[in-house]
Structure 1
């Protein structure tokens, strides 16, 4: 900045801005790159990894079958969880104390006990109820069947994963609904809209912007959580891998096979989540915030200028 001092008639020197040198960042960057090179070299050259065996079993028939069952289990469990979560969230926010209390007890029970315990209980439900039937309470039974024939490992896995997920989704949906301004509900009531119609047409579409990100995280978590069903004998990706290395004793490479498939699937789900977030963020101030790259979202790398007016 230049100018003449009116009192002295002198011209001050031009101010020369010098950028701040972040030497600590450069040192940290060099250390991280060096450590990354060491890790990658160790993984690539470690003979115990047996990358040839990994390649042989990556598309093995049993592994692919287990992978298919994992995807099926994840999809159906999330459908049960999301549908149940919406119902529970609406019940939890109901003015009826019995309805909200019942939803609260459900959430407390399923979030308060380990998922692996719930899976085992569902698998051995016959120990508690040897026979399941439909009929009049304390009266005749119209239809029934042996519990062991109804609760297969697949059914036990669905019940355990789906019902447990519903408890967590209920809180996610409730948080999304509460994020919508109360004036929206009042305006809908003034127009004579019913509570159900208001929820479907006004509240939920706006709440989806808040609900989608944690739901995507829950889906990714569910994909990995399905590996717990190995305790009840259901055949999925980890079960397939364990069966193979129990025969050939190639434990390390088979575990790498499972890890690679989980990494691939979670990456695909992350990309799908990004697209859904962009869709529901259209027309809002959050639309710009959702424009992140694949590397930004999954690996945390930042390229280009920072958002919010920050500098490189």
Structure 2
């Protein structure tokens, strides 16, 4: 294989790659923060809500966990402008790909975070809820002050693992031509004719970040559960 590697293209394109990396980090942070918040609400509704609400929440979770994320992103990008025009009455309203991607990632990831939060709440001994109620606390006060803090401590490694998965999933926004880290790398590689170098560089970055996150999740698991180490 006579291929002359030219790694200088990475240095020359670094400012453009940084813009893509910033977009990826934006998608990641918003997806994690809002995904956990919505997922927590869904988990509470599913576990403690009235039967119709619990059934509706279960359907939501099953729906988004059954559809490939790339299709969710694609359909949000196509349908969101039309839906927003109907809701606002503005026929000229446009929705950029960044908003479509954020909406798709948050709503899809909330389904996965819901199951993680539900498992975290289930890991807290059920007797603690009865103890809180017997002391005069409301169910909401017991959840927010006693149950959820312990649950989040127990599920921290799982949340971190799902965050790593989301980091990799953000690369799927290429389907709507967003300039994320991978999308920027593809454009640079095609422009300079150095696709191999750029793809190797991107793979190394993802590998290092995801490996560090996996190690941290394992370390937290041992730290939080020393008896199972």
The TM-score normalised by the length of structure 1 is 0.67
| Higher Rg of the two aligned structures | 1
Give the Å deviation of 1:263: 2.1
Give the Å deviation of 1:224: 0.8
Q: Which runs of 5+ in 1 are unaligned?
A: 1-45, 134-142, 290-306, 308-312
Higher share in helix: 2
Q: 1:270 to 1:258 in 2, by over 3 A?
A: same
Query: Which residue in the other structure is 1:78 paired with?
Result: 32
Query: Which residue in the other structure is 1:255 paired with?
Result: 199
Query: Which residue in the other structure is 1:175 paired with?
Result: 119
Q: 1:154 to 1:199 in 2, by over 3 A?
A: same
Q: 1:201 to 1:260 in 2, by over 3 A?
A: same
Superposed, 1:59-138 pairs within 5 Å as 60-125=14-79, 129=83, 131-133=85-87
The TM-score normalised by the length of structure 2 is 0.89
**Contact 1:81-1:165 at 8 Å conserved across structures:** yes
Q: 1:49 to 1:86 in 2, by over 3 A?
A: farther
Q: 1:126 to 1:217 in 2, by over 3 A?
A: closer
SS of the equivalent of 2:83 reads: coil
Alpha-carbon separation, structure 2, partners of 1:49 and 1:83? 49
Q: 1:80 to 1:49 in 2, by over 3 A?
A: farther
Alpha-carbon separation, structure 1, partners of 2:4 and 2:137? 63
Alpha-carbon separation, structure 2, partners of 1:224 and 1:153? 18
- What is the aligned-residue RMSD (CA, Å)? 2.4
**Contact 2:74-2:175 at 8 Å conserved across structures:** yes
Q: Which runs of 5+ in 2 are unaligned?
A: none
Give the Å deviation of 1:94: 2.1
SS of the equivalent of 1:215 reads: helix
Bigger RCO (CA 8 Å, 6+ sep): 2
Residue 236 of structure 1 pairs with residue 180 of structure 2: yes
Give the Å deviation of 1:272: 5.4
